Amino acid sequence: MREVLQDIERWRARGERFALATVVATRRSAPRPIGAKLAVSESGEMAGSVSGGCVENDVYGHACEVLGGARPQTLTYGISNDLAFSVGLPCGGEIDVYVEESPTELVERLLGTVEREERAVLFTVVEGESLGAELLVTEDGERFGEGPDELPSLVDGLLRGGRNQLIELDQRKVFAELFGPPPRLLVIGAVDTAEALCRAAKTLGWHTIVADARGKFATKERIPSADELLVAWPEDALEQVRPDYQTAVVVLTHDDRFDIPALKHSLATEAFYIGALGSRRNQSRRRERLLEEGLEEGELDRIAGPCGLDVGAETPAETALSILGEILARRAGRSGGALKEAAGRIHAGAEAPEPARS
């Protein structure tokens, strides 16, 4: 939604209606991820993208039909589709695109959700009974709109999974689209690798925080890419940040005064990733110290140490890339190995079933 938000607000200010086309499923390789959007205004303007090329032209035409009063519909494109010779995907995959005109009241509430960075799930029935029904459910349980009664119970699991997906529900297909603040990266230790990590994470749209008890280290001059700088001991920084299931924590300090409390208190949070830099020897010694602090062996298994993927990193920038790669793999539930050797599909997320063929 963010990619088309400014254009939608501009159209709304002019009193224009608009249609939204959303990628709700992909099969095999696809040029745009699930959730990608193309918005079409009543006057014919476009914003965003669902694929490119002639697929986009066809989607545009259907969006205009919806604005003219046609029912919402799900369109399937791909080289194995009946439209292969006229509307195809050069990558050899398939996409399902749902085209609709959302109710004005829902759009207003949804825009507020995006601007306030609330965590919420928008459920849209894209196939079957109640086609076009939409229900927005926030993390704290607030509901707006209409939809099947079973949907609110799915919100927590969907938000924790962190992926848009198509749900099969009682002979209906429901698209679940997630909204919320960007993932956070908390780095303990304002060293050169911290700046490299923040710089790389910000290219992904993440919110970056660096904490260090040493005020001379935690400065904007040293770590210009951090969104937040905290001059605080690890336990105090963790109390301020309160890592949740969308937060990764990386400890870079190489000093037990900082490392032990940072890891101990991180393990008491829901952080989906906890990494610690250092040699295997240091990791083993640190593990013993944490056991002496009263932690259990099973708890320590959450720590990625030495953190990062085995890419032969040497420089701070290479080390940051290695660590961030492992963080992304953990978040997507992937091993982080070579794609050539991966058994599943390249792109993360659930694969939609093949559409029926005539």
Q: Judge whether 54 and 87 are in contact, CB under 8 Å.
A: yes
Fold of 184-337: Rossmann fold (3.40.50)
State the residue for tokens 């529900």: 169
Count the neighbouring beta carbons within 10 Å of the beta carbon of residue 290. 20
Say which DSSP state 246 is in: T
φ, ψ of residue 106 in degrees (nearest 5): -70, -40
Mean pLDDT over 270-291 rounds to 92
> Residue 357: which pLDDT band, with cuts at 50, 70 and 90?
very low
The domain limits of the chain are 2-101, 105-179, 184-337
**Per-residue pLDDT for 21 more than 90?**
yes
Q: Per-residue confidence at 1, pLDDT binned at 50, 70, 90?
A: confident
Calpha distance 179→225 (Å, rounded)? 25
Please name every residue paired with 94 in a beta bridge, in sequence order, or none if there are none. 27, 78
**pLDDT tens digit sequence for 237-266:** 999 999 999 999 999 998 889 999 999 999
Question: How far, in Å, CA of 206 to CA of 40, rounded?
Answer: 28
Across the chain, mean pLDDT equals 89
Residue 42 pLDDT more than 90? yes
Do residues 188 and 206 touch, judged by C-beta distance below 8 A?
A: no
Residue 166 Cα distances to 84, 94, 147, 163, 350, angstroms: 24, 15, 15, 10, 8
Q: Is the pLDDT of residue 290 over 90?
A: yes
The pLDDT of residue 282 is: 86
In the predicted structure, residue 277 carries a pLDDT above the cut 70: yes
Q: Given CA atoms 12, 159, 301, 347 in this order, what sign does their dihedral have?
A: negative
For residue 174, what are the contacts with CB-CB under 8 A and spacing of at least 6? Answer: 123, 124, 125, 126, 147, 148, 151, 166, 167
Q: What percent of the chain has pLDDT over 90?
A: 70
Mean pLDDT calculated for residue range 10-20:
93
Using an 8 Å Cβ cutoff, are 195 and 209 in contact?
Answer: no
Q: How far, in Å, CA of 260 to CA of 234, rounded?
A: 9
